[in-house]
């Protein structure tokens, strides 16, 4: 369930990024407002994504990929 929420937030960040791009291409005051709102949304989504990932790792809902390589494994 946590992985689905993370993917949804990443997609929302990409959508906000594309809306900001459209605002930049449009230009003017309306484009500037669109870019600012997009930036605020992206920052809020990124912060919430960071908090969700840290909390999920703390609660052991997700596990990081741990690769232990020692120097003797290449011989």
For position 33, what pLDDT does the model report?
A: 85
Per-residue confidence at 24, pLDDT binned at 50, 70, 90? confident
Please report, to the nearest 10 degrees, the dihedral formed by the alpha carbons of residues 36, 41, 43, 45 taken in order. Answer: -170
Number of domains present in the structure of the chain: 1
Cα separation, 56 vs 62, in Å, equals: 6
For position 75, what pLDDT does the model report?
A: 54
Decide which of 7 and 75 is more confident: 7
Full domain range(s) for residue 43? 2-74
Write the burial class of residue 39 (CB in 10 Å: 0-12 exposed, 13-18 middle, 19+ buried). middle
pLDDT in tens, 38-73: 999 999 999 999 999 999 989 988 887 777 666 565
Model confidence, pTM: 0.76
Query: CA of 65: how far to CAs of 23, 40, 55, 57, 68, in Å?
Result: 38, 31, 16, 11, 10
Cα separation, 18 vs 2, in Å, equals: 25
């Amino acid at each position: 369930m946590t992985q689905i929420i993370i993917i949804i937030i990443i997609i929302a960040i990409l959508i906000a990024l594309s809306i900001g791009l459209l605002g930049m291409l449009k230009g003017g005051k309306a484009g500037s407002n669109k870019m600012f709102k997009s930036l605020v949304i992206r920052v809020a989504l990124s912060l919430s994504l960071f908090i969700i990932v840290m909390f999920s790792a703390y609660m052991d809902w997700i596990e990081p990929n741990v690769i232990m390589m020692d120097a003797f494994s290449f011989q």
